[in-house]
Structure 1
Amino acid sequence: MADLSRPNVLPWPPMLLGTAAVLAITLGLVAPLPTTDAGWVTLPGFVLLVLGLGLDIWAILTMRSAQTNILPHRGADRLVTWGPFRLSRNPIYLANTLLLSGIGLAFGNLWFVVFALVSAFAVDRLAIRREERHLAQRFGRDWADYAATTPRWLIR
């Protein structure tokens, strides 16, 4: 059986987020995707960017107030089920996806939107699934009850 004392050896989510941003910036410079600077695209981009940043901060502060580990490659100290974690089991990863998408729309670099979706899929496969196994082992019935009532991302 795998060692579930921690979900991952590597901190996949920030590595994937950083890689997505670097690739989006690079491709935006050398091979930009067609876009528009119309307000109907730019304004929602800024809204997504602010929502993503706000959700990220709220989730981080919630974890800090719970005095639990926030690093994705370390074991969980406590199961956090309040604050933004009532809405999503992964509000930080959701926030990162919103943030990247918002940057792409707000600044006219659609590679950010593409890589937001790619990194969300990769985070789901490389981090979230492993984190959930770790949480199930660590918190048993409490985790099962929480997972049964709270969506992984935002929508069931």
Structure 2
Amino acid sequence: MNAYRAKPLSFPWPALLYGTATLAALLLARYSPIPVVHGHGWVPWISGAILVATAIWLDLWAVKTLLDRHTAVLPQRCATCLVTYGPFRFTRNPIYLGYTLMMIGFGLITLNPWFFIMAIAAVMLTTIFAIRNEERHLLSRFGFEFERYCRHTSRWI
């Protein structure tokens, strides 16, 4: 099959990876907890809540931007156009960035350091299994336009 017509992913890896990372953080906290000093009262909880709210807002903004352009939202669907405005002006992967911020926020709210460790693992695995394939797909479909976008917009932040 032609790379131009090929789907970026055959399976929705990001959702599985972030869901598994969240479950792993919860299980690891239960069976192998990392001690945390509780000296700052409400500060971690409020910071975590702000991060979770920001993550939800970022994800919704990114999905709305994709829907406005009538292109694929799901990572296993072919892109019909290159979206470079909205949150995509600041990062090439605002939805995955939102997932990562949400995990960090949950880590602060629950004072569970495993969320930070699993967020890093999810970022690395998502980059390997999803983002690189998605970028190859976009490069094959949009060529120079995508290359120019990559030069001006970072992958994460």
TM-score normalised according to structure 1 size: 0.92
1:91 counterpart residue number: 94
Greater mean alpha carbon deviation, residues 69-78 or residues 88-97 = 69-78
Corresponding letter in the other structure for 1:33: I
Please give the per-residue CA displacement for 1:100-125, whole angstroms capped at 9, x wherever unaligned.
01101111112111111110111011
Secondary structure of 1:64 counterpart:
helix
1:17 counterpart residue number: 18
Aligned CA distance change for structure 1 residues 2 and 35 (closer, same or farther; 3 Å): farther
Task: Extract unaligned runs of 5+ from structure 2.
Answer: none
2:138 counterpart residue number: 135
1:152 counterpart residue number: 155
1:82 counterpart residue number: 85
TM-score normalised according to structure 2 size: 0.91
Q: Distance in 2 between matches of 1:3 and 1:54?
A: 33
Aligned CA distance change for structure 1 residues 109 and 135 (closer, same or farther; 3 Å): same
Corresponding letter in the other structure for 1:64: L
1:41 counterpart residue number: 44
Following superposition, the deviation at residue 41 of structure 1 comes to: 2.5
- Given candidates 104, 121, 131, the residue that maps to 2:107 is 104
1:119 counterpart residue number: 122
Q: Distance in 1 between matches of 2:144 and 2:113?
A: 42
Q: Distance in 2 between matches of 1:34 and 1:7?
A: 41
Q: Could you say what the CA RMSD is over the residues aligned between the two structures, in angstroms?
A: 1.6
Task: Extract unaligned runs of 5+ from structure 1.
Answer: none
The runs of at least 4 consecutive aligned structure 1 residues that moved more than 6 Å come to none
Q: Distance in 2 between matches of 1:76 and 1:33?
A: 42
The number of equivalent residue pairs is 154
1:62 counterpart residue number: 65
Q: Distance in 2 between matches of 1:7 and 1:107?
A: 35
Q: Distance in 1 between matches of 2:54 and 2:26?
A: 21
User: Conserved in 1, the CA contact under 8 Å of 2:3 and 2:140?
Assistant: no
Following superposition, the deviation at residue 150 of structure 1 comes to: 0.7
Secondary structure of 1:97 counterpart:
helix
Aligned CA distance change for structure 1 residues 42 and 137 (closer, same or farther; 3 Å): same
Corresponding letter in the other structure for 1:145: R
Identity of aligned residues (%): 40
Q: Distance in 2 between matches of 1:51 and 1:140?
A: 32
